[in-house]
Structure 1
Amino acid sequence: MSKLISNYKAILKLLGIIIFIIGIAMIIPWIYAEATGDISAAGAFRLCAPLTVVTGGLITFFLKIPKVKFRAREGYIVVAACWILASVIGSFPYYLSGFTDTYIDAFFEATSGFTTTGCTAVASGIMTRSLLLWKAISHWLGGMGIIIFVISILPAIGVNGQYIARAESPGPVLEKMTFRLSDSAKILYITYLLFTVLEFVLLMLSGKMSAFDSLIHTMGSISTGGLLVHPTGLAYYDSFYIEVVISIFCILGSLNFAMYYYIITGKLSYIIKDVEFRIYMIIMGAAVIICTLGLVAATDNSLTDSFRDSFFQVISMSTTAGYTRSPYMVWPTSCQIILIALMFIGGCAVSTSGSLKVIRVIIMFKLIWRGCIRRIHPRSVVAVKVGGHAVSAPVVSGITAFILTFMGLFLLSSFILSFQGMDLETNMTTALAMLSNTGAAFGETASAGNFSAYHPLLKLYLSFLMIVGRLELFTIIILFTKNFWGRDR
């Protein structure tokens, strides 16, 4: 094993940094719990935060490592271990505070937070404000990816992060916007932070949200996690302004963050030529129109109310935020199918959203079109092009494998969940909700507003699906292959 994983000290060092970051993050809800008299949460954070900070700090600051370059295998191990470790550590405040009755429920809750799935396995679903703040922070950290932050500091500890970035990247390619990968990671997080501050200010200006509510919704929307403060969702505020602000920042979080680098550097032509961006906007616009007309035709809602419901719910599903403003589970079947299709597609590559990603869907349809052309002209050579550039065969092959794996895992998961005894709609949309990191399902779970009805073992499986979906499938699946643990070739 030591030969297979030669940089185990560097791996331990990186895990120590992750532990330290999570520990520092825990201090914020700990202080809030103490200040507001949240006794149960304060007791949990009083134990968890210092222990996590000390453990992570000792590894981070006292473990010395030589300058190393990770191999592909080690990059995948680091990323998988970091997300699992974050979920394990992040689960203890939920469990020790008494919010969850079992550790499995607490692990589900933490995994839901860090993967930005944003769902719960607790029947009441009502957290104390301190725990709500902790889940929002985990959303924010998981949104842009804890690893992306770590990549930005890798040069300081003498680690090359190329393969870590490849294992973490949310889409077909993590674009190197600058010469150094660490600089690209810093640009991503600075942009992410600026959006966070801007949205917080805009929500405060609504006059209907407190500072706490604004902070929770900010971290929940820019990360496309979809965390809510009140059981009735955004309907509690009854403010179109708030819905528009949150929708805009959900979209900003679901766009390719490389676009913002091009805006900063004045390369606006790149955005105009971006096929993924244009198609994504068309998909959302068309979905809003179809759902609006569907609601007007099938319900007593006015055109204005139908548009408002459709506008918010379509954006919520297409960005995989999973917010709920109206009971979409009772919408006309045609509208529900549109929402499910949006859950499959997801947002753009290199964003905080999940699922297949728009660019993969675009290339998939171009492959289908090429297949049709070659049926008519068998000897023709038709390249798959995106934005005027031919897509290489390895990329096309990788995208095909990803989509087939996604659909295969979706069907397998639907079958596994069927042992719970729930209906087909519930099981299939639950599998999709976890795998796409949307967190919003249909059927019995949508009516209940939580996933507490599932057996503890199935909750563990749902947690596994959340992590697999967040890490683009192969980062986790590859760990279960024989070749991964074999000798280097």
Structure 2
Amino acid sequence: MNKSIIFYIIGWILNIEAALMIFPAICALIYGEKSGFAFLITIAACLLIGLPLSLRKPKSRIFFAKEGYITVALCWMSLSIMGALPFFISGQIPNYIDALFEIISGFTTTGSSILTDVEAMDYGMLLWRSLTHWIGGMGVLVFLLAIIPMSGGESIHFMRAESPGPSVEKLVPRIRATALLLYKIYLGMTLLQIVLLLIGGMPLFDALTITFGTAGTGGFAIKNTGIADYTRYQQTVITIFMFLFGINFNVYYLLLLRKFKDAFKSEELKWYVSIVAASIFLISLNTGGPKGFFAAIHPAAFQVSSIITTTGFATVDFNYWPTFSKVILVILMFIGACAGSTGGGMKVSRIVILIKTVRHEVSSLMHKRSVRVLKIDGKKIENETIRSIHVFFVAYILIFAASLLIVSLDNQDFTTSFTAVAATLNNIGPGLETVGPMGNFSAFSNLTKTVLMFDMLAGRLEIFPMLALINLVKSKIMSHKITLTR
């Protein structure tokens, strides 16, 4: 294993984190908040570790999938461990486990929170909390590839290990150009939403933090009432952009090239739009009540866009919705957004391929001599892709079951425990009951919070990087035991 390149990348990640903390530090200075010193201390700590690691050039920059998975897992853990320090040092979140939970929830764009009164936090801390969504949305290593030249085609292993979805390909021949292009689209959409919210009369601080949460499909709100107190226009803008950030960014690339036919023939996009439309229709019918179907469309559209894209913002407490509507939301939690978007969940493309696989198997049983090829967007689905999806699905179920078993030790009700695991593993944010849109995760024990932190990282990194790291640690322990017995 090329350890030198792993430490080199971790060093750069910490340097970048130090640079990004300048923004909340300035924000704290503007509002005259003493907690801003916590950012300065953390910046110094990041640079103290990051600079020596990044200045030591690796002898070889060649790395493979194994190094890619391990590096991604270690980078996200390092980013979180250091990123939690401002909360802890300032005393805004005095328990480090809680601070770590909050920051992992931020970077993984989950949006689950342990805070009981978010409005009590300083502005600088709120900005850092929301900024982590934007940083984690597209991926910190994708950002690194965009600004630092990495020789060799092996850089694709980083992008594939960090980017959500069953497969990631280069949009243009060079990885750095691909990363830059993705961030240009990401930044452009972010700025557009900020402008539209400002036009609608939203204060600048609110527009920035809400947009960071929308772009990263994270969901950290800065008010105890979530998004409920904002105007209908502002909520509509957020609804539209949550939906847009849940679309595969390859579609936007094709639109920029004016290849409209190629962009709109995407099967995943068609399924995504259909699922959203059907869910809004059904929930509106179910929740209309005395006010009627049309009055229910606006809140239904907001919550459907929020849940399927795994953003987690809320305008209403859907704990009080009928069971039918709540079941739809739980199903959307598992489906998630499109591959190659900033959203979480299992991804629409995986669900589509699984459905096609089931149909293919049933057809094969009925017509044994027939030979059919599985296709998506007119292209053959390789057996390797199908195999990886099946492995992902099995690993997902095992992690979900194990997490639910441990979380149940806290003796919360089943709905709370089940949706807490679903909300964190799928990077949603809110669940139901105690962890609903107007609740939080503060009631859980430190053990449960640790399990849910692992779930958030596993969900954001598509499971395999975290499993690869666990396997590496296990092999090191086993080899150490063998050495001792000798």
Quickly name the TM-score band, shorter chain normalised.
over 0.9
1:316-363 deviation digits (Å, cap 9, x = unpaired): 001100111111111010000110111100001111000100000001
Residue 212 to residue 482, structure 1, CA distance change in 2 (3 Å): closer
Task: Read off the aligned partner of 1:107 and give its amino acid letter.
Answer: L
Q: Is the 8 A contact 1:199 1:249 kept in 2?
A: yes
Among residues 9, 12, 16, which one is paired with 2:7 in the alignment?
12
Task: Read off the aligned partner of 2:117 and give its amino acid letter.
Answer: S
Task: Read off the aligned partner of 2:169 and give its amino acid letter.
Answer: E
The aligned counterpart of 1:29 is 24
1:347-387 deviation digits (Å, cap 9, x = unpaired): 01111000100000001111111121122112322222112
Task: Read off the aligned partner of 2:258 and give its amino acid letter.
Answer: G
Q: Map residues 451-462 of structure 1 onto 2, 5 A cutoff.
A: 451-462=441-452
The aligned counterpart of 1:75 is 68
CA RMSD of aligned residues (A): 1.9
1:113-139 deviation digits (Å, cap 9, x = unpaired): 100001211333342211110011111
The aligned counterpart of 1:216 is 209
Task: Read off the aligned partner of 2:219 and give its amino acid letter.
Answer: G
TM-score w.r.t. the length of structure 1 is 0.93
Residue 483 to residue 64, structure 1, CA distance change in 2 (3 Å): closer
Give 3-state SS (helix, strand or coil) of 1:481's partner: helix
Structure 2: how far apart are the matches of 1:24 and 1:94?
Answer: 17
The aligned counterpart of 1:284 is 276
Residue 405, structure 1, aligned to residue 400, structure 2:
no
Please state how far the C-alpha of 1:159 moved relative to its aligned partner.
8.4
Structure 2: how far apart are the matches of 1:374 and 1:141?
Answer: 46
Q: Is the 8 A contact 1:318 1:343 kept in 2?
A: yes
The aligned counterpart of 1:236 is 229
Residue 232 to residue 483, structure 1, CA distance change in 2 (3 Å): closer
Structure 2: how far apart are the matches of 1:235 and 1:483?
Answer: 45
Indicate the larger mover: 352-361 or 444-453.
Answer: 444-453
Residue 295, structure 1, aligned to residue 287, structure 2:
yes
Please state how far the C-alpha of 1:157 moved relative to its aligned partner.
6.8
Q: Is the 8 A contact 1:27 1:45 kept in 2?
A: yes
Q: Map residues 105-254 of structure 1 onto 2, 5 A cutoff.
A: 105-126=98-119, 127-156=121-150, 160-207=154-201, 209-237=202-230, 239-254=231-246
TM-score w.r.t. the length of structure 2 is 0.94
Residue 416, structure 1, aligned to residue 444, structure 2:
no
Please state how far the C-alpha of 1:448 moved relative to its aligned partner.
5.7
The aligned counterpart of 1:64 is 57
The aligned counterpart of 1:270 is 262
Structure 1: how far apart are the matches of 2:472 and 2:175?
Answer: 30
Task: Read off the aligned partner of 1:29 and give its amino acid letter.
Answer: P
Among residues 319, 335, 343, which one is paired with 1:329 in the alignment?
319
Q: Is the 8 A contact 2:434 2:440 kept in 1?
A: no
Structure 1: how far apart are the matches of 2:474 and 2:259?
Answer: 41
Query: Aligned residues: percent identity?
Result: 36
Among residues 378, 400, 410, which one is paired with 2:368 in the alignment?
378
Give 3-state SS (helix, strand or coil) of 2:299's partner: helix
Q: Is the 8 A contact 1:250 1:321 kept in 2?
A: yes
Residue 467 to residue 52, structure 1, CA distance change in 2 (3 Å): same
Structure 1: how far apart are the matches of 2:334 and 2:418?
Answer: 12
Please state how far the C-alpha of 1:166 moved relative to its aligned partner.
2.2
1:399-427 deviation digits (Å, cap 9, x = unpaired): 11212222232222222111100111111
Structure 1: how far apart are the matches of 2:17 and 2:382?
Answer: 39
Residue 311 to residue 384, structure 1, CA distance change in 2 (3 Å): same
Structure 1: how far apart are the matches of 2:471 and 2:48?
Answer: 35
Residue 468, structure 1, aligned to residue 422, structure 2:
no
1:431-482 deviation digits (Å, cap 9, x = unpaired): 0000000011002221761100100111111111100000001111122337
Residue 347, structure 1, aligned to residue 337, structure 2:
yes
| Structure 2: segments with no counterpart, 5+ residues | 477-486
Structure 1: how far apart are the matches of 2:93 and 2:371?
Answer: 59
Give 3-state SS (helix, strand or coil) of 1:242's partner: helix
Give 3-state SS (helix, strand or coil) of 2:50's partner: helix
Among residues 458, 463, 471, which one is paired with 1:481 in the alignment?
471
Among residues 41, 48, 51, which one is paired with 2:45 in the alignment?
51
Indicate the larger mover: 153-162 or 334-343.
Answer: 153-162
The aligned counterpart of 1:261 is 253
Q: Is the 8 A contact 1:344 1:432 kept in 2?
A: yes
Q: Is the 8 A contact 1:67 1:158 kept in 2?
A: no
Q: Is the 8 A contact 1:320 1:343 kept in 2?
A: yes
